[in-house]
Chain A
Amino acid sequence: MSDDTIAKEWPPVRGDYTVVDPRSRICVATLASDMEAFPDACMVGSCKTENLGIEKIIINTISNSNIRYILVCGTESRGHLSGNTLLAIHHNGIDEQGRIIGSDGAIPFIENIPAKAIERFRQQVELIDRRGLVETGKIQELINEYRSKGNPFPEPPMVIETRKKKQKIEREITGGDMMIAPGILMDSASGVIFAET
Protein backbone atom coordinates (compact mmCIF):
# COMPACT_ATOMS: atom_id res chain seq x y z
CA MET A 1 0.00 0.00 0.00
CA SER A 2 1.51 3.31 -1.00
CA ASP A 3 0.57 6.74 -2.16
CA ASP A 4 1.60 10.24 -1.13
CA THR A 5 -0.25 10.01 2.13
CA ILE A 6 0.34 6.44 3.25
CA ALA A 7 3.65 4.73 3.98
CA LYS A 8 4.66 1.86 1.76
CA GLU A 9 4.18 -0.81 4.36
CA TRP A 10 1.40 0.51 6.49
CA PRO A 11 0.71 -0.04 9.31
CA PRO A 12 4.34 -0.59 10.30
CA VAL A 13 3.76 -2.13 13.72
CA ARG A 14 1.53 -5.02 14.59
CA GLY A 15 -0.99 -4.86 17.35
CA ASP A 16 -4.48 -5.69 18.48
CA TYR A 17 -6.24 -3.72 15.75
CA THR A 18 -8.13 -4.06 12.50
CA VAL A 19 -7.49 -1.89 9.45
CA VAL A 20 -10.74 -0.93 7.76
CA ASP A 21 -10.24 2.02 5.40
CA PRO A 22 -6.70 3.47 5.26
CA ARG A 23 -8.03 6.66 3.68
CA SER A 24 -10.49 7.46 6.41
CA ARG A 25 -9.66 10.45 8.59
CA ILE A 26 -10.54 8.79 11.88
CA CYS A 27 -9.11 5.96 13.96
CA VAL A 28 -10.76 4.44 17.00
CA ALA A 29 -8.81 3.51 20.13
CA THR A 30 -11.08 1.40 22.31
CA LEU A 31 -8.69 1.32 25.29
CA ALA A 32 -9.44 -1.78 27.43
CA SER A 33 -12.63 -2.66 25.55
CA ASP A 34 -12.52 -5.26 22.82
CA MET A 35 -14.83 -4.24 19.99
CA GLU A 36 -15.49 -5.39 16.47
CA ALA A 37 -14.20 -3.16 13.68
CA PHE A 38 -16.48 -0.28 12.62
CA PRO A 39 -17.15 0.47 8.94
CA ASP A 40 -15.50 3.61 7.55
CA ALA A 41 -12.95 4.00 10.33
CA CYS A 42 -9.30 3.93 9.32
CA MET A 43 -8.32 1.42 11.98
CA VAL A 44 -9.92 0.19 15.18
CA GLY A 45 -8.08 -1.37 18.08
CA SER A 46 -7.54 -1.57 21.79
CA CYS A 47 -4.77 0.14 23.74
CA LYS A 48 -4.22 -1.30 27.18
CA THR A 49 -0.76 -0.10 28.16
CA GLU A 50 0.55 3.36 28.89
CA ASN A 51 3.94 2.82 27.25
CA LEU A 52 4.21 0.26 24.45
CA GLY A 53 0.55 0.64 23.48
CA ILE A 54 0.89 4.40 23.12
CA GLU A 55 4.06 4.00 21.06
CA LYS A 56 2.23 1.72 18.61
CA ILE A 57 -0.59 4.20 18.15
CA ILE A 58 1.85 7.00 17.43
CA ILE A 59 3.93 4.99 14.95
CA ASN A 60 0.90 3.75 13.03
CA THR A 61 -0.72 7.19 13.01
CA ILE A 62 2.15 9.32 11.73
CA SER A 63 2.85 6.86 8.92
CA ASN A 64 -0.58 7.61 7.44
CA SER A 65 -1.20 11.29 6.81
CA ASN A 66 -4.88 10.66 6.15
CA ILE A 67 -5.47 10.16 9.86
CA ARG A 68 -6.54 13.46 11.45
CA TYR A 69 -8.70 12.27 14.34
CA ILE A 70 -8.49 9.57 16.97
CA LEU A 71 -11.61 8.72 18.88
CA VAL A 72 -10.55 7.66 22.39
CA CYS A 73 -13.37 5.54 23.74
CA GLY A 74 -14.13 2.32 25.59
CA THR A 75 -13.34 1.45 29.15
CA GLU A 76 -10.23 3.01 30.62
CA SER A 77 -7.44 0.51 31.25
CA ARG A 78 -7.29 0.33 35.03
CA GLY A 79 -4.01 1.27 36.62
CA HIS A 80 -2.34 1.64 33.26
CA LEU A 81 -4.67 4.51 32.30
CA SER A 82 -3.79 4.29 28.63
CA GLY A 83 -6.56 6.74 27.68
CA ASN A 84 -5.41 9.32 30.19
CA THR A 85 -1.86 8.80 28.93
CA LEU A 86 -2.77 9.15 25.26
CA LEU A 87 -4.43 12.47 26.00
CA ALA A 88 -1.49 13.54 28.15
CA ILE A 89 1.14 12.85 25.50
CA HIS A 90 -0.93 14.66 22.91
CA HIS A 91 -1.42 17.63 25.18
CA ASN A 92 1.98 17.84 26.88
CA GLY A 93 4.51 15.60 25.12
CA ILE A 94 7.37 14.01 27.05
CA ASP A 95 10.14 15.28 29.29
CA GLU A 96 13.89 14.75 28.83
CA GLN A 97 13.67 11.35 30.51
CA GLY A 98 10.94 10.11 28.22
CA ARG A 99 8.22 10.39 30.85
CA ILE A 100 4.85 11.41 29.46
CA ILE A 101 4.08 14.73 31.11
CA GLY A 102 0.85 14.80 33.06
CA SER A 103 0.01 11.11 32.78
CA ASP A 104 -1.43 9.37 35.82
CA GLY A 105 -0.65 5.92 34.38
CA ALA A 106 1.55 3.41 36.18
CA ILE A 107 4.72 3.55 34.06
CA PRO A 108 4.15 6.21 31.38
CA PHE A 109 7.45 6.25 29.52
CA ILE A 110 8.38 6.32 25.85
CA GLU A 111 11.45 4.32 24.88
CA ASN A 112 11.36 3.44 21.23
CA ILE A 113 10.34 6.56 19.33
CA PRO A 114 12.06 9.92 18.95
CA ALA A 115 10.71 13.27 20.13
CA LYS A 116 10.16 14.39 16.53
CA ALA A 117 7.65 11.55 16.06
CA ILE A 118 5.72 12.63 19.11
CA GLU A 119 5.71 16.22 17.91
CA ARG A 120 4.42 15.08 14.52
CA PHE A 121 1.67 13.07 16.23
CA ARG A 122 0.61 16.10 18.24
CA GLN A 123 0.42 18.22 15.12
CA GLN A 124 -1.21 15.66 12.87
CA VAL A 125 -4.19 14.52 14.88
CA GLU A 126 -6.89 15.81 17.13
CA LEU A 127 -8.08 13.51 19.89
CA ILE A 128 -11.78 13.13 20.57
CA ASP A 129 -12.03 12.29 24.24
CA ARG A 130 -15.00 9.98 24.78
CA ARG A 131 -13.50 7.72 27.39
CA GLY A 132 -16.16 5.43 28.83
CA LEU A 133 -18.20 5.36 25.63
CA VAL A 134 -18.93 1.75 24.66
CA GLU A 135 -22.22 2.19 22.84
CA THR A 136 -21.46 1.06 19.30
CA GLY A 137 -24.19 3.11 17.63
CA LYS A 138 -22.81 6.32 19.07
CA ILE A 139 -19.26 5.37 18.11
CA GLN A 140 -20.41 4.74 14.54
CA GLU A 141 -22.12 8.14 14.48
CA LEU A 142 -18.86 9.82 15.43
CA ILE A 143 -16.97 7.86 12.77
CA ASN A 144 -19.50 8.94 10.18
CA GLU A 145 -19.10 12.55 11.26
CA TYR A 146 -15.31 12.57 11.03
CA ARG A 147 -14.39 9.98 8.38
CA SER A 148 -14.16 12.55 5.55
CA LYS A 149 -13.61 15.67 7.58
CA GLY A 150 -10.79 17.95 6.43
CA ASN A 151 -7.73 17.12 4.40
CA PRO A 152 -4.81 14.79 4.92
CA PHE A 153 -1.96 16.21 6.99
CA PRO A 154 0.16 18.32 4.61
CA GLU A 155 3.36 16.39 5.22
CA PRO A 156 4.37 13.01 3.84
CA PRO A 157 3.96 10.00 6.12
CA MET A 158 6.68 9.66 8.72
CA VAL A 159 8.10 6.19 9.15
CA ILE A 160 9.94 5.32 12.32
CA GLU A 161 12.40 2.47 12.41
CA THR A 162 11.02 0.31 15.18
CA ARG A 163 13.42 -2.59 15.02
CA LYS A 164 16.45 -1.60 16.97
CA LYS A 165 19.68 -1.92 15.12
CA LYS A 166 21.62 -4.81 16.44
CA GLN A 167 24.61 -3.52 18.26
CA LYS A 168 27.66 -5.64 18.18
CA ILE A 169 28.77 -5.95 21.74
CA GLU A 170 32.37 -6.54 22.49
CA ARG A 171 32.33 -9.69 24.51
CA GLU A 172 34.70 -9.38 27.34
CA ILE A 173 34.84 -12.57 29.31
CA THR A 174 35.53 -11.64 32.87
CA GLY A 175 35.33 -15.14 34.24
CA GLY A 176 33.04 -18.11 34.42
CA ASP A 177 30.38 -17.71 37.08
CA MET A 178 28.28 -20.66 35.97
CA MET A 179 29.51 -24.21 35.54
CA ILE A 180 28.02 -26.29 32.76
CA ALA A 181 30.37 -29.24 33.20
CA PRO A 182 33.79 -29.70 34.76
CA GLY A 183 36.07 -27.39 32.79
CA ILE A 184 33.18 -25.88 30.81
CA LEU A 185 32.18 -22.50 32.16
CA MET A 186 29.77 -19.76 31.22
CA ASP A 187 30.21 -16.05 31.75
CA SER A 188 26.66 -14.94 32.50
CA ALA A 189 27.25 -11.29 31.61
CA SER A 190 28.42 -11.98 28.07
CA GLY A 191 26.51 -15.22 27.62
CA VAL A 192 29.66 -16.93 26.35
CA ILE A 193 30.36 -20.55 27.16
CA PHE A 194 33.98 -21.53 27.15
CA ALA A 195 36.38 -24.28 28.11
CA GLU A 196 38.65 -23.53 31.02
CA THR A 197 42.26 -23.46 29.93
Chain B
Amino acid sequence: MFTFQKVQEVVNIANIKIGGQPGEYPTVLAGTIFYNKHSIVSDPDKGIFDKLAAEKLINRQQELSDETGNPCMVHIYAESGDAAMRYLDFVSNATDAPLLIDSTESRVRMAAASYVSEIGLADKTIYNSLNMAVTEEEIEALTLSDMDSAIILGFNAMDSSLGGRMELLEDGGKVLPHGLLETADECGIKKKLIDPSITPMGNGAGVALRMTIAAKAKWGHPVGSGIHNAPSAWNWLRNIGKEDKLIYKICDIASTGIQQMAAGDFILYGPIENARYTFPMAAMADIMISESVADMGVEPVEGHPIWKLV
Protein backbone atom coordinates (compact mmCIF):
# COMPACT_ATOMS: atom_id res chain seq x y z
CA MET B 1 0.00 0.00 0.00
CA PHE B 2 0.99 3.64 0.09
CA THR B 3 0.55 6.98 1.78
CA PHE B 4 -0.38 10.31 0.26
CA GLN B 5 1.90 13.31 0.38
CA LYS B 6 -1.17 15.53 0.54
CA VAL B 7 -2.65 15.93 4.01
CA GLN B 8 -5.75 13.78 4.10
CA GLU B 9 -8.86 15.39 5.47
CA VAL B 10 -10.93 13.57 8.07
CA VAL B 11 -14.55 14.68 8.35
CA ASN B 12 -16.70 14.09 11.38
CA ILE B 13 -20.37 13.46 10.69
CA ALA B 14 -22.49 12.51 13.70
CA ASN B 15 -19.33 11.31 15.47
CA ILE B 16 -18.30 9.07 12.60
CA LYS B 17 -14.92 9.90 11.11
CA ILE B 18 -14.33 9.44 7.39
CA GLY B 19 -11.06 9.91 5.52
CA GLY B 20 -7.38 9.92 6.39
CA GLN B 21 -4.39 8.00 5.09
CA PRO B 22 -4.91 4.37 4.03
CA GLY B 23 -4.74 2.24 7.14
CA GLU B 24 -5.45 5.09 9.53
CA TYR B 25 -9.25 5.13 9.86
CA PRO B 26 -11.44 2.08 9.32
CA THR B 27 -13.57 2.07 6.18
CA VAL B 28 -17.02 3.47 6.80
CA LEU B 29 -19.74 1.19 5.45
CA ALA B 30 -23.22 2.26 4.41
CA GLY B 31 -25.96 -0.29 3.80
CA THR B 32 -28.91 0.75 1.67
CA ILE B 33 -32.45 0.50 2.97
CA PHE B 34 -35.77 1.12 1.19
CA TYR B 35 -34.04 0.56 -2.15
CA ASN B 36 -35.93 -0.18 -5.37
CA LYS B 37 -37.93 -3.40 -4.89
CA HIS B 38 -36.81 -3.78 -1.27
CA SER B 39 -39.10 -6.48 0.13
CA ILE B 40 -39.80 -4.53 3.32
CA VAL B 41 -41.35 -1.64 1.38
CA SER B 42 -45.00 -2.06 0.45
CA ASP B 43 -45.63 1.42 -0.99
CA PRO B 44 -42.55 3.33 -2.20
CA ASP B 45 -44.59 6.44 -3.08
CA LYS B 46 -46.05 6.85 0.38
CA GLY B 47 -43.08 5.34 2.18
CA ILE B 48 -45.00 2.47 3.79
CA PHE B 49 -42.75 -0.29 5.08
CA ASP B 50 -42.38 -3.06 7.63
CA LYS B 51 -40.99 -1.17 10.62
CA LEU B 52 -40.04 -4.24 12.60
CA ALA B 53 -38.03 -5.66 9.69
CA ALA B 54 -36.38 -2.28 9.05
CA GLU B 55 -35.37 -1.93 12.68
CA LYS B 56 -33.87 -5.41 12.68
CA LEU B 57 -31.78 -4.61 9.62
CA ILE B 58 -30.53 -1.33 11.04
CA ASN B 59 -29.70 -2.93 14.38
CA ARG B 60 -27.91 -5.84 12.76
CA GLN B 61 -25.71 -3.47 10.81
CA GLN B 62 -24.95 -1.55 14.00
CA GLU B 63 -24.04 -4.75 15.87
CA LEU B 64 -21.62 -5.75 13.14
CA SER B 65 -20.16 -2.26 13.17
CA ASP B 66 -19.65 -2.44 16.93
CA GLU B 67 -18.08 -5.87 16.63
CA THR B 68 -15.66 -5.16 13.80
CA GLY B 69 -14.86 -1.49 14.37
CA ASN B 70 -15.98 -0.43 10.89
CA PRO B 71 -18.29 2.55 11.42
CA CYS B 72 -21.65 2.43 9.69
CA MET B 73 -24.08 4.79 8.01
CA VAL B 74 -27.58 4.15 6.74
CA HIS B 75 -28.13 4.91 3.09
CA ILE B 76 -31.79 5.77 2.54
CA TYR B 77 -33.23 5.61 -0.94
CA ALA B 78 -36.54 7.38 -1.45
CA GLU B 79 -38.84 7.67 -4.44
CA SER B 80 -40.90 10.62 -3.22
CA GLY B 81 -40.61 13.52 -0.83
CA ASP B 82 -43.27 12.04 1.46
CA ALA B 83 -41.46 8.71 1.55
CA ALA B 84 -38.16 10.45 2.30
CA MET B 85 -39.67 12.18 5.30
CA ARG B 86 -41.16 8.98 6.69
CA TYR B 87 -37.92 7.10 6.21
CA LEU B 88 -35.85 9.87 7.79
CA ASP B 89 -38.16 10.03 10.81
CA PHE B 90 -37.95 6.32 11.35
CA VAL B 91 -34.25 5.73 10.75
CA SER B 92 -33.13 8.73 12.81
CA ASN B 93 -35.07 7.33 15.73
CA ALA B 94 -33.64 3.87 15.23
CA THR B 95 -29.94 4.79 15.07
CA ASP B 96 -27.42 7.50 15.87
CA ALA B 97 -25.46 6.67 12.70
CA PRO B 98 -25.19 9.26 9.92
CA LEU B 99 -27.86 9.05 7.23
CA LEU B 100 -27.37 9.40 3.51
CA ILE B 101 -30.45 10.60 1.70
CA ASP B 102 -30.57 9.51 -1.90
CA SER B 103 -32.97 9.65 -4.80
CA THR B 104 -32.61 9.69 -8.56
CA GLU B 105 -35.02 12.64 -8.54
CA SER B 106 -33.63 16.00 -7.48
CA ARG B 107 -37.00 17.21 -6.21
CA VAL B 108 -36.99 14.36 -3.68
CA ARG B 109 -33.48 15.22 -2.54
CA MET B 110 -34.42 18.88 -2.25
CA ALA B 111 -37.51 18.04 -0.19
CA ALA B 112 -35.38 15.90 2.09
CA ALA B 113 -32.77 18.66 2.52
CA SER B 114 -35.49 21.05 3.56
CA TYR B 115 -37.06 18.52 5.91
CA VAL B 116 -33.87 17.56 7.77
CA SER B 117 -33.17 21.27 8.27
CA GLU B 118 -36.65 21.78 9.66
CA ILE B 119 -36.44 18.95 12.19
CA GLY B 120 -32.82 19.45 13.20
CA LEU B 121 -31.32 16.42 11.47
CA ALA B 122 -29.18 18.30 8.95
CA ASP B 123 -25.91 17.75 10.80
CA LYS B 124 -26.23 13.97 10.67
CA THR B 125 -27.50 13.74 7.10
CA ILE B 126 -25.42 13.52 3.94
CA TYR B 127 -26.87 14.76 0.64
CA ASN B 128 -26.48 12.11 -2.05
CA SER B 129 -25.59 13.59 -4.40
CA LEU B 130 -24.49 16.76 -6.12
CA ASN B 131 -23.93 15.66 -9.69
CA MET B 132 -23.49 16.93 -13.23
CA ALA B 133 -27.25 17.44 -13.62
CA VAL B 134 -27.36 19.97 -10.78
CA THR B 135 -29.78 22.84 -11.43
CA GLU B 136 -30.02 26.39 -10.08
CA GLU B 137 -33.09 25.26 -8.19
CA GLU B 138 -31.17 22.48 -6.48
CA ILE B 139 -28.27 24.79 -5.64
CA GLU B 140 -30.70 27.23 -4.08
CA ALA B 141 -32.48 24.52 -2.08
CA LEU B 142 -29.22 23.17 -0.74
CA THR B 143 -27.94 26.65 0.06
CA LEU B 144 -31.10 27.42 2.00
CA SER B 145 -30.86 24.16 3.92
CA ASP B 146 -28.67 23.57 6.97
CA MET B 147 -26.93 20.61 5.37
CA ASP B 148 -23.16 20.78 5.27
CA SER B 149 -22.25 17.27 4.07
CA ALA B 150 -22.66 15.92 0.56
CA ILE B 151 -21.42 13.30 -1.81
CA ILE B 152 -19.96 14.95 -4.90
CA LEU B 153 -20.45 12.60 -7.84
CA GLY B 154 -17.79 12.37 -10.51
CA PHE B 155 -20.10 10.86 -13.11
CA ASN B 156 -19.44 12.61 -16.41
CA ALA B 157 -21.81 11.31 -19.09
CA MET B 158 -19.92 13.25 -21.76
CA ASP B 159 -16.44 12.13 -20.85
CA SER B 160 -16.14 9.12 -18.58
CA SER B 161 -12.34 9.08 -18.67
CA LEU B 162 -10.30 9.83 -15.55
CA GLY B 163 -9.56 13.27 -16.94
CA GLY B 164 -13.23 13.94 -17.70
CA ARG B 165 -14.34 12.95 -14.21
CA MET B 166 -11.62 15.01 -12.52
CA GLU B 167 -12.42 18.05 -14.68
CA LEU B 168 -16.09 17.86 -13.77
CA LEU B 169 -15.13 18.36 -10.15
CA GLU B 170 -12.28 20.77 -10.80
CA ASP B 171 -13.72 23.28 -13.29
CA GLY B 172 -16.87 21.70 -14.73
CA GLY B 173 -15.08 20.48 -17.87
CA LYS B 174 -17.31 20.81 -20.91
CA VAL B 175 -20.43 20.20 -18.86
CA LEU B 176 -20.78 22.85 -16.17
CA PRO B 177 -19.66 26.48 -15.83
CA HIS B 178 -17.99 25.70 -12.51
CA GLY B 179 -16.49 22.63 -10.92
CA LEU B 180 -18.78 20.63 -8.66
CA LEU B 181 -16.43 21.20 -5.72
CA GLU B 182 -16.88 24.94 -6.15
CA THR B 183 -20.63 24.48 -6.45
CA ALA B 184 -20.56 22.51 -3.20
CA ASP B 185 -18.77 25.41 -1.52
CA GLU B 186 -21.40 27.76 -2.89
CA CYS B 187 -24.10 25.59 -1.29
CA GLY B 188 -22.40 25.61 2.09
CA ILE B 189 -21.13 22.06 1.87
CA LYS B 190 -18.10 21.87 4.14
CA LYS B 191 -17.79 18.10 4.35
CA LYS B 192 -17.23 16.88 0.83
CA LEU B 193 -17.24 13.16 0.14
CA ILE B 194 -16.12 12.43 -3.40
CA ASP B 195 -17.68 9.53 -5.27
CA PRO B 196 -15.83 8.84 -8.56
CA SER B 197 -19.03 7.09 -9.76
CA ILE B 198 -19.28 3.45 -10.65
CA THR B 199 -20.31 2.93 -14.24
CA PRO B 200 -20.94 -0.61 -15.52
CA MET B 201 -17.97 -2.79 -16.31
CA GLY B 202 -17.26 -2.21 -19.99
CA ASN B 203 -18.10 1.46 -19.50
CA GLY B 204 -15.24 2.36 -17.21
CA ALA B 205 -16.02 0.93 -13.79
CA GLY B 206 -12.32 0.54 -13.16
CA VAL B 207 -11.67 4.22 -13.81
CA ALA B 208 -13.28 4.91 -10.44
CA LEU B 209 -10.41 3.09 -8.73
CA ARG B 210 -7.79 5.31 -10.34
CA MET B 211 -9.88 8.34 -9.58
CA THR B 212 -10.12 7.38 -5.92
CA ILE B 213 -6.36 7.63 -5.70
CA ALA B 214 -6.08 10.70 -7.91
CA ALA B 215 -8.79 12.62 -6.03
CA LYS B 216 -7.26 11.89 -2.64
CA ALA B 217 -3.84 12.91 -3.92
CA LYS B 218 -5.16 16.13 -5.45
CA TRP B 219 -7.73 17.38 -2.97
CA GLY B 220 -7.34 15.24 0.14
CA HIS B 221 -11.09 14.88 0.61
CA PRO B 222 -12.51 11.49 1.62
CA VAL B 223 -13.34 9.33 -1.41
CA GLY B 224 -15.56 6.28 -1.75
CA SER B 225 -18.19 4.68 -3.93
CA GLY B 226 -21.04 2.29 -4.41
CA ILE B 227 -18.78 -0.19 -6.12
CA HIS B 228 -21.23 -3.08 -5.75
CA ASN B 229 -23.12 -1.45 -8.64
CA ALA B 230 -20.45 -2.84 -10.98
CA PRO B 231 -21.18 -6.51 -10.29
CA SER B 232 -24.90 -5.85 -9.93
CA ALA B 233 -25.01 -4.38 -13.45
CA TRP B 234 -22.99 -7.26 -14.90
CA ASN B 235 -25.36 -9.33 -17.01
CA TRP B 236 -23.05 -12.31 -17.22
CA LEU B 237 -22.82 -12.53 -13.44
CA ARG B 238 -26.54 -12.08 -13.02
CA ASN B 239 -27.15 -14.99 -15.36
CA ILE B 240 -24.79 -17.41 -13.69
CA GLY B 241 -25.98 -16.10 -10.35
CA LYS B 242 -29.40 -17.53 -11.15
CA GLU B 243 -27.86 -21.00 -11.03
CA ASP B 244 -25.71 -20.42 -7.96
CA LYS B 245 -26.50 -17.41 -5.81
CA LEU B 246 -23.23 -17.78 -3.93
CA ILE B 247 -21.26 -16.83 -7.05
CA TYR B 248 -23.16 -13.58 -7.29
CA LYS B 249 -22.80 -12.93 -3.59
CA ILE B 250 -19.04 -13.47 -3.61
CA CYS B 251 -18.47 -10.97 -6.41
CA ASP B 252 -20.89 -8.49 -4.86
CA ILE B 253 -19.22 -8.54 -1.45
CA ALA B 254 -15.67 -8.77 -2.83
CA SER B 255 -16.13 -5.53 -4.72
CA THR B 256 -15.97 -3.70 -1.40
CA GLY B 257 -12.44 -5.00 -0.89
CA ILE B 258 -11.40 -3.77 -4.32
CA GLN B 259 -12.46 -0.24 -3.46
CA GLN B 260 -10.66 -0.48 -0.13
CA MET B 261 -7.43 -1.50 -1.83
CA ALA B 262 -7.72 1.62 -3.99
CA ALA B 263 -7.72 3.78 -0.85
CA GLY B 264 -11.50 4.15 -0.50
CA ASP B 265 -12.61 5.76 2.75
CA PHE B 266 -16.30 4.90 2.61
CA ILE B 267 -18.33 2.37 0.71
CA LEU B 268 -22.01 2.15 -0.09
CA TYR B 269 -22.08 -1.63 -0.11
CA GLY B 270 -25.62 -2.14 -1.39
CA PRO B 271 -28.58 -3.85 0.30
CA ILE B 272 -28.29 -3.58 4.07
CA GLU B 273 -29.03 -7.31 4.28
CA ASN B 274 -25.45 -7.85 3.08
CA ALA B 275 -24.01 -6.36 6.26
CA ARG B 276 -23.29 -9.78 7.74
CA TYR B 277 -20.91 -10.58 4.89
CA THR B 278 -19.55 -7.13 4.13
CA PHE B 279 -18.38 -6.08 7.57
CA PRO B 280 -16.04 -9.05 8.20
CA MET B 281 -14.65 -8.73 4.68
CA ALA B 282 -14.05 -5.00 5.06
CA ALA B 283 -12.50 -5.48 8.49
CA MET B 284 -10.09 -8.03 7.04
CA ALA B 285 -9.03 -5.64 4.29
CA ASP B 286 -8.62 -2.78 6.76
CA ILE B 287 -6.38 -4.90 8.98
CA MET B 288 -4.15 -5.87 6.07
CA ILE B 289 -3.98 -2.32 4.74
CA SER B 290 -3.10 -1.03 8.17
CA GLU B 291 -0.34 -3.60 8.60
CA SER B 292 1.04 -2.75 5.19
CA VAL B 293 1.69 0.87 6.15
CA ALA B 294 2.67 0.28 9.77
CA ASP B 295 6.28 1.30 9.13
CA MET B 296 5.29 4.42 7.22
CA GLY B 297 4.14 6.47 10.15
CA VAL B 298 0.46 5.62 9.86
CA GLU B 299 -1.08 4.70 13.18
CA PRO B 300 -4.51 3.06 13.12
CA VAL B 301 -6.95 4.93 15.33
CA GLU B 302 -8.49 3.51 18.46
CA GLY B 303 -11.33 1.16 17.64
CA HIS B 304 -9.80 0.15 14.28
CA PRO B 305 -10.44 -3.52 13.39
CA ILE B 306 -6.74 -4.22 13.88
CA TRP B 307 -7.16 -3.45 17.58
CA LYS B 308 -10.45 -5.29 17.94
CA LEU B 309 -10.16 -8.46 15.90
CA VAL B 310 -6.55 -9.67 15.93
Contact = CB atoms under 8 A, between A and B. Distances in A.
Interface stretch (A114-122, A128-136, A147-155, A173-181): A173-181
A177 B157 contact: no
Nearest to B239: A16
B296 interface: yes
Contact of B104 (A16, A79, A109, A112): A79
Interface stretch (A2-10, A57-65, A184-192): A184-192
B5 A176 contact: yes
B157 A80 contact: no
A79 B200 CA distance: 18
B148 interface: no
Given A14-B235, A16-B235, A178-B3, A188 B213 contact: yes
A181 B236 CA distance: 39
Contacts of B36: 78
Contact of B155 (A97, A107, A176): A107
Contacts, number: 75
A111 interface: yes
Interface in B172-213: 174-175, 199-200, 202-203, 210, 213
Interface in B87-130: 103-106, 108
Interface string A91-128: 00000011000000011111110000000000000000
A105 to B, nearest CB: 9
Contacts of A178: 2-5, 213, 217
A178 B202 CA distance: 28
Given A107-B131, A178-B4, A188 B218 contact: yes
The majority secondary structure among interface residues of chain A is loop
Interface residues of B, number: 37
A171 to B, nearest CB: 13
Interface string A9-23: 000001110000000
B214 interface: yes
Given A52-B203, A98-B157, A78 B3 contact: no
Nearest to B235: A16
24 contacts: A16-B235, A16-B238, A78-B36, A78-B104, A79-B103, A79-B105, A97-B158, A97-B175, A98-B157, A106-B133, A107-B131, A107-B133, A107-B157, A109-B132, A109-B157, A110-B157, A111-B157, A111-B160, A178-B5, A178-B213, A179-B4, A181-B296, A188-B216, A188-B217
Interface of B: 1-6, 36, 79, 103-106, 108, 131-133, 155, 157-160, 174-175, 199-200, 202-203, 210, 213-214, 216-218, 235-236, 238, 296
